[in-house]
Amino acid sequence: MNYDVIIIGAGINGCASAYFLRNAGLKVALIDQDGIASGGSGAAGAFISPKISKAGELKEIMGQAHAEALEFYSTRFPQFTLTKPLLHIANNSKEGEKLEHFKRETSLHHSVIDDELQSLLTPEAAEDSYIYFSEGAVVDAQGVCRAMAEGTDFYTIKVEKLTRTHGMWHVSDLNAKHLVLAIGAYPKLLSVDYVGLRGIWGHRIDIDTSTRIPCILHHHVSISPTTKEGIVAIGATHDVHYSPFSEEPYDMEQGRAILLEKASKTLKLDNLHILNDYTGLRSGSNDYLPMLGSLVDADATLEKYPHMRYGEKVDPSEFTYYPDLIMINGSGGYGFVLAPYLAKRLKEHIADGKDMNPVLSPSRFFPRWAKKNQS
């Protein structure tokens, strides 16, 4: 079967890419080994929150992505989007300083909290620095991924190998000119060890509680009403030590206990029952910027420029890249914030021939890796 684009990975990045590319009139095949939103995306609390960061490229990209995401989900997928004010409370003094700085600089509307909200918080939470945004949102992670993928041909395939002949990529019996790798923190399918990514395990629970929560709260964990009436989500414990690729099972009970203990530092949840657990890997880049761009063919590039191993500087335009192959990845804890921004630019590149932002290119990690791996 022939397509314009094959996308491997049906998390938020793959589904958003399918949505934008299909709406641009391209014929798209979406592939996942386990189903739509079966990886990190299915576990996400999926808050559309601004990143509290200092000035610089990351702040600019995150600011733009946040604005685009709020508008995108609330206008195109309102049934999966709940908009609420968002209270971000610092969980240590360093974060408090960052937050106070952000508060002075940001153009996002924020205000002081009212007495009702104040009375919900524990004394500890009420004392910490905070920023209270008038506009925040949370999306139904699985619902929105499925809605975005609707109308795109979906295949359940565990891709083991990628091949390319006569200008076409082949995956199983599917062929396409363009290939998009949206595989999160899973094994990379190509020899691209330079791509600086790491997977962090996360856990979210849905609960019911008689406590009414009027806004989205981020403190030691996130606590928020959801698009499902009466259900509150608590997430995420980020367990840097657990890997789903190891033999050991994840300790769900312990994960729940940690989430509830952390939530209790923010507010008291009465008559609480756990309804569901969601776990998954999120993949963050080593420099916190997301990735959107072509992948360097390391062997071919080092053959052309062997002295890169000793630090020779080569302009990235001279590297050899895998043709018509783009990676979208590395969004860390902001996959739902970044996906509409990244997928829109992916579409503009594939369908409209626009250049992608070199700052986001995964090739940014290549020169350093080449120097470190001198063999």
Ligand X SMILES: Cc1cc2nc3c(=O)[nH]c(=O)nc-3n(C[C@H](O)[C@H](O)[C@H](O)COP(=O)(O)OP(=O)(O)OC[C@H]3O[C@@H](n4cnc5c(N)ncnc54)[C@H](O)[C@@H]3O)c2cc1C
Q: Which residues bind ligand X (CB under 6 A)?
A: 8-14, 31-34, 38-41, 43-47, 158-159, 182-184, 186, 189, 202-204, 235-236, 280-283, 329, 331-337
* 45/367 with CB nearer ligand X: 45
* 39/293 with CB nearer ligand X: 39
Residue 270 CB, nearest distance to ligand X (Å)? 24
Task: Name the token pair of 304.
Answer: 């052309």
Q: Kind and range of the H or E element at 311?
A: none
Residues 156/247, Cβ–Cβ less than 8 Å: no
Residue 45 CB, nearest distance to ligand X (Å)? 4
* 47/341 with CB nearer ligand X: 47
Q: Among candidates 132, 142, 146, which has minimal Cα distance to 46?
A: 142
* 327/370 with CB nearer ligand X: 327
* 9/367 with CB nearer ligand X: 9
Residue 321 CB, nearest distance to ligand X (Å)? 21
Longest dimension (CA), the chain: 67
Contacts of 92 (CB under 8 A, 6+ apart): none
Dihedral sign for Cα 83, 84, 85, 87, please.
negative
* 12/120 with CB nearer ligand X: 12
SS3 of residue 255 by DSSP: helix
Residues 15/39, Cβ–Cβ less than 8 Å: no
Q: What sections of the chain are H helices per DSSP? A: 12-23, 40-43, 57-76, 93-105, 115-120, 123-127, 141-149, 252-263, 298-304, 335-352, 366-372
Residue 66 CB, nearest distance to ligand X (Å)? 10
Residue 304 CB, nearest distance to ligand X (Å)? 29
Residue 374 CB, nearest distance to ligand X (Å)? 30
Rg over alpha carbons for the chain, rounded to the nearest Å, is: 21
* 88/301 with CB nearer ligand X: 88
* 209/331 with CB nearer ligand X: 331
Tell me the C-alpha distance between 154 and 82, whole Å: 27
Residue 200 CB, nearest distance to ligand X (Å)? 7
Residue with tokens 């769900």: 252
Task: Name the token pair of 220.
Answer: 């030691």
Residue 300 CB, nearest distance to ligand X (Å)? 23
- Return the bridge partners of 168, or none: 165
Tell me the C-alpha distance between 21 and 207, whole Å: 36
